[in-house]
């Protein structure tokens, strides 16, 4: 049960990725923007994200991946969310999501086709997903 008007987001780094600096920056930026941030840290499984979202009654899940294996780590994520009763939860993904050089529109399409609502390329500043999330959640 939520006791304030803040929207809750679950934030973490998926799979075997140990890149922690970016997630700390996102945690701070989203917190300063007025979100209740539940940072599950690095080396997080899909189940870790989903369980945290259920436990905190989250409004969105933000998945980060910088080691290039996001495509493998995120496969089936939306389906698991649906199975857990979180089919309407907003899903964002961002970072260095694929191995090698691929053009961003192709990579973005892969993740949108997987059921993510938005996907962000490497180097995206926090202001963009913050603005998008506020719009997607109807926050003025």
Residue 69 designated active-site = no
- The verdict on whether residue 125 carries a ligand-binding annotation is no
Residue 63 is assigned to a ligand binding site? no
Residue from 19, 48, 117, 132 carrying the catalytic annotation: 19
Angstrom distance (rounded) from CA 32 to CA 24:
12
96 is in an annotated binding site: yes
135 is in an annotated binding site: no
Residue 100 annotated as binding?
yes
CB distance 108 to 118 below 8 Å = no
Q: Which of 137, 130, 140 is nearest to 31 (CA)?
A: 130
12 is in an annotated binding site: no
**Using CA atoms in the order 59, 39, 13, 123, what is the torsion angle rounded to 10 degrees?**
80
Instruction: Confirm whether residue 19 is marked as ligand binding.
Output: yes
Tell me which residue has tokens 């603005």: 131
What is the number of other CB atoms lying within 10 angstroms of the CB of residue 135? 10
Active-site pick, 5, 17, 103, 113: 17
What residues are designated binding site?
Answer: 19, 64-66, 96-100
Q: What residues are labeled active site?
A: 17, 19
What residues are designated binding site for adenosylcob(III)alamin?
Answer: 19, 64-66, 96-100
């Amino acid at each position: 049960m939520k006791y304030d008007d803040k929207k809750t987001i679950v934030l973490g780094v998926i799979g075997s990725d140990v890149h922690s600096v970016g997630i700390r920056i996102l945690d701070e930026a989203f917190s300063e923007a007025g979100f209740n941030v539940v940072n599950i840290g690095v080396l997080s499984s899909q189940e870790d994200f989903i369980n945290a979202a259920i436990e905190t009654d989250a409004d969105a899940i933000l998945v980060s991946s910088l080691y290039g294996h996001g495509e493998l780590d995120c496969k089936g994520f939306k389906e698991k969310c649906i199975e857990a009763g979180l089919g309407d939860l907003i899903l964002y993904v961002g970072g260095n999501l694929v191995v090698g050089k691929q053009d961003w529109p192709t990579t973005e399409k892969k993740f949108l086709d997987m059921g993510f609502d938005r996907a962000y390329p490497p180097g995206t500043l926090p202001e963009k997903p913050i603005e998008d999330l506020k719009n997607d959640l109807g926050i003025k």
